Amino acid sequence: MSIKMQGSWLVRVKSRNAVFAQEFQIQGAVIGNGTYAGNISTPEIFVTGSNWSITILNNPGPGFIPSEMQIKFPVSGGGFYSFDIESNDAGNDADFNDLVLTCRTPIDADDYLIYGHIGYYSGICFNPCARRYIVIDTLSSLREALKNPSLKELISTYYPKRIDDLKARVNFVALNPQPLPPGPDPFTTMLIPVNDNMAIPPKQQVLVRSKADSMKVGNSKDGSSLAFNRLLASETLPFASQSASNISISDQVRISAASIADKFRLYCETGSLPSAILNVAEYDRSSAELAGGSYTGDGSREILGQIVSDRNGNYIFRFRMSGAQVADEITTDTAAGEDSNIQVAPDIMLQLLCHGSSIPAYETAPDWNINHLQRIDVCVPKEKSCLIPMPCNGQHIIQGIGNIVLGPPSASGERIGSNNFLNSSGIITAFGSGAPAARCAAWYSTLQLRGCLSNSAVKYYRIWHKPNSIFASFTQFTQQFSLPHFVGPNVVDAFVFDTSRNAYLNVENDPGGNWLIAFRNIKARIDTTAPGIGNGSHVFKIQGLDASLNPVGIEESVVLYIDNNPVQSDINTEITMEGVGTLGECALFTLPEGNEAPGMTVKFRATHNVAGTTGFMNSYGLSMLKGAHGFAFTPAAAAANFPAPPFLDNVDNSGRFYVHGDNLNCNTFFRGTTNEITADSDHYYATTLRPASGGWLEPGQKFCAFGISLSYSLRLTNGEGMYPTLTTSTVLIGIQRP
């Protein structure tokens, strides 16, 4: 899995200890994108962008594949934050030293860097990541806490309404109005201080001393420098106008409650959450909280970005809070060239997302008044951690299209698994066993959607689809299809979509139907040409329902790029022979005196998606028959004029063949003859044909008929076959001797 990055960083190879070839890729950046050799000699790379990624790859023989990756926590020194990315290649060892990268960035007064570990916990205990507070974040832990008199007194003091209305489970998280994945109903976290009486710490300001600085960025094309606001020192200053959130309670009760909470921690089961997806949000306190009340979760939230943890559950995230700063020039204690600013220390919370869902399954309480470099560990109740067995015994739902295996969902929309790569737009590159060898291909024709809904609660399911755009809304997908089952000794097909229930029957949980086991994972057959789908990037979502057709919180989405656009293709019947001229339909050319192999200029076109700007052409070219047999000829060479962005990974190409570049960052501008630099406004490209050897006619041959044909193939797949190849009608000509 790639490591997600934010802002400006310098990336270099720290060490290499591997037999296999190594490289790393930078994607999604504004500056620094590319593939770099995994060697110590590779120069340090300057990369910048709001959200980009690093992927380390190794080549065990057939080609480069992603390595396992893990991060080390950041450290500060010499005016920089830095951390390592370690990797393990496809070799037999597992030492994570095959290729190690170091990332460093100047310590900027306007930036914050948070890091930590994401894990789960279970058992009769309170959240083990909290020490200053007793954190109650599930209904079951609240009920257990109320059994102890000291804890009950604390809870009753800080959250009296929660005691009065347990059944209603008050204070649902306002940003989660929809049902969550399996687990209890939403429950707003309760914070109970154990070290003092402050329910919420007072808001803080930070007096920051900084100095304008810059550094050269070695791989910048124009040799420019990176300017930044170097942090020199910071000092915490409480807001004088804000009253502390202070609720009086006896020391004896507080000490007793803290002792019980410590004992609870002894019974915690904990573990890591690798590849966990979390939103990072900045929390603004509600009016009640600012007035001195306990944490309610009713304040506003601003999403700053998203975290994906590594294989160990560790993460690093960088963000900038320029909108929360109040610049205030200080005239004292400021050296020449330095600035002092007063910044508001942000309060940060994290929201866990289950794969395939945009609805947070869990939200932490805020970490108040964080520092510029802050460790924030996250402990998620196991029942909200996405680890509870989901629809297919812990596996994801949508598992393949045809014979192409799809990896689990990710926050970006990409699915990577079994050496197959589905990018965030739904374009597929497949290297996996049994899959058609698609390279940056679109989907077409009829797609068999394979998945798993073996959860006993799912009796029916619905499928929804929409264009992959932020303002599009879902439409129910109701295309009927059938699956085989036994009726007595016979195997017959039966429809799966139940029109009376307006839903598909989950045949996995219908053993009485005697459905053939090998076909139970087919969840739909999608006719991509059906009305309402159309060409382009589409989201398909499957939603599990119980016997009463109520959603059970089990759903997952996949993005598929569909293209059934036509190809405009034909050969112009007007053909020109050197020394003879231009003749039309059924042309009969007489060889000019003394020239056995005059050039013959043919105009043809093969352009995918004429009305658009994208296309999935794979190859195109002319072929020729002489009599009843093939005839070798050579077309004139000409470089294609590939449109921006830089096309086909900077590979020189004549325009007749697609050259595969990146598995995820696919270029969709190769449409056919329209890319040829000499193509006319109607997409016709003229090429001059000559015999590969000899002349058009054999010695002593007076006449022969020739057929000129155009064929092309498209980068399209239905998951089972690939690259449909089509041939246009043949143009016939005759050539004779004088």
Which of 84-93, 379-388, 520-529 is the most confident on average?
520-529
The candidate with the shortest Cα–Cα distance to 25, out of 51, 45, 49, is 45
CA–CA gap between residue 510 and residue 514 (Å, rounded)? 8
- The reported pLDDT for the residue numbered 393 is 66
AA identity, residue 233: A
- The reported pLDDT for the residue numbered 560 is 97
* Greater model confidence, 637 or 494: 494
Q: Tens digit of pLDDT for each residue in 660-678? A: 888 998 888 889 998 888 8
- State whether residue 586 is helix, strand or coil: coil
* Greater model confidence, 218 or 483: 483
Distances in Å between the Cα of 634 and the Cα atoms of 151, 413, 736 are: 88, 45, 20
What's the whole-number mean pLDDT along residues 107-132? Answer: 87
**pLDDT confidence bin for 137, thresholds 50/70/90:** confident
Q: Is the dihedral of CA 607, 609, 610, 612 positive or negative?
A: negative
The candidate with the shortest Cα–Cα distance to 479, out of 522, 519, 511, is 522
- The reported pLDDT for the residue numbered 523 is 97
What's the whole-number mean pLDDT along residues 176-198? Answer: 59
AA identity, residue 144: E
CA–CA gap between residue 376 and residue 129 (Å, rounded)? 9
- The reported pLDDT for the residue numbered 356 is 64
Q: Tens digit of pLDDT for each residue in 298-345? A: 899 999 999 889 889 999 999 987 644 334 333 333 445 556 666 778
Instruction: Tell me the sheet residues that pair with 374.
Output: 114
CA–CA gap between residue 295 and residue 159 (Å, rounded)? 9
Compute the mean pLDDT over every residue in the chain, rounded to the nearest whole number: 84
The full set of domains in the chain, from first to last, is 3-106 (2.60.120.400), 116-204+239-384 (no CATH), 398-562 (no CATH), 567-736 (2.60.40)
Q: What letters, b where the CB count within 10 A reaches 16 and e where it falls short, cover 343-381?
A: bbbbbbbbbbbbbbbebbbbbbbbbbbbebbbebbbbbb
Residue 447's Cα: distance from chain center in Å?
22
CA–CA gap between residue 413 and residue 561 (Å, rounded)? 12
- The reported pLDDT for the residue numbered 246 is 54
CA atoms within 13 A on the CB side of 19: 6
CA–CA gap between residue 415 and residue 429 (Å, rounded)? 11
Instruction: Name 291's Cβ contacts closer than 8 Å, sequence gap at least 6.
Output: 243
* Greater model confidence, 366 or 456: 366
**pLDDT confidence bin for 695, thresholds 50/70/90:** very high
Q: Tens digit of pLDDT for each residue in 418-443? A: 999 999 999 999 999 889 999 999 99
- The reported pLDDT for the residue numbered 655 is 62
For residue 451, give both structure tokens: 């998945």
Instruction: Tell me the sheet residues that pair with 351.
Output: 279, 363
What's the whole-number mean pLDDT along residues 285-301? Answer: 86
Query: How many helices (H) and strands (E) in the chain?
Result: 5, 57
- The reported pLDDT for the residue numbered 391 is 63
Distances in Å between the Cα of 152 and the Cα atoms of 226, 251, 673 are: 56, 15, 77
Is-contact 544 528, C-beta < 8 A? no
CA angle 388, 394, 395 (to 5 degrees): 145
Which of 140-149, 233-242, 597-606 is the most confident on average?
597-606
What's the whole-number mean pLDDT along residues 466-481? Answer: 92
Is-contact 375 73, C-beta < 8 A? yes
- The reported pLDDT for the residue numbered 542 is 95
- The reported pLDDT for the residue numbered 224 is 67
Least confident interval from 139-148, 263-272, 388-397: 388-397
What's the whole-number mean pLDDT along residues 685-703? Answer: 93
Instruction: Name 527's Cβ contacts closer than 8 Å, sequence gap at least 6.
Output: 446, 479, 533
pLDDT tops 80 at residue 30: yes
**pLDDT confidence bin for 680, thresholds 50/70/90:** very high
Asked, as a colleague might, if the bond just before 645 is cis with ω within 30 of 0, I would say yes
**pLDDT confidence bin for 251, thresholds 50/70/90:** low
| 426 Rama sector, left if φ>0, alpha if ψ -120 to 50, beta otherwise | left
Instruction: Name 206's Cβ contacts closer than 8 Å, sequence gap at least 6.
Output: 234, 235, 236, 237, 342, 343, 344, 345
What's the whole-number mean pLDDT along residues 267-293? Answer: 86
Length of the chain: 738
Q: Tens digit of pLDDT for each residue in 500-517? A: 999 999 999 897 889 999
- The reported pLDDT for the residue numbered 435 is 92
pLDDT tops 80 at residue 689: yes
**pLDDT confidence bin for 518, thresholds 50/70/90:** very high
Q: What letters, b where the CB count within 10 A reaches 16 and e where it falls short, cover 90-100?
A: eeeeeebebbb
For residue 705, give both structure tokens: 């008929």
Percent helix / strand / coil, the chain, rounded to 5: 10, 45, 45
* Greater model confidence, 702 or 334: 702
Q: Tens digit of pLDDT for each residue in 46-68? A: 999 999 999 999 998 878 888 98
Distances in Å between the Cα of 167 and the Cα atoms of 123, 187, 365, 725 are: 22, 12, 22, 64
The pTM of this model reads 0.55
Q: Tens digit of pLDDT for each residue in 140-183? A: 778 778 888 888 888 888 888 777 665 444 333 323 333 333 33
Residue 407's Cα: distance from chain center in Å?
11
For residue 650, give both structure tokens: 């900077």
Instruction: Strands of 600-684 (E only): list them.
Output: 600-608, 617-626, 629-630, 633-635
Instruction: Provide Rg for the chain, Cα atoms.
Output: 32
The candidate with the shortest Cα–Cα distance to 682, out of 619, 620, 604, is 604
CA–CA gap between residue 306 and residue 51 (Å, rounded)? 9
Least confident interval from 197-201, 402-406, 494-498, 618-622: 197-201
- The reported pLDDT for the residue numbered 218 is 63
| 642 Rama sector, left if φ>0, alpha if ψ -120 to 50, beta otherwise | beta
Least confident interval from 9-18, 158-167, 571-580, 598-607: 158-167
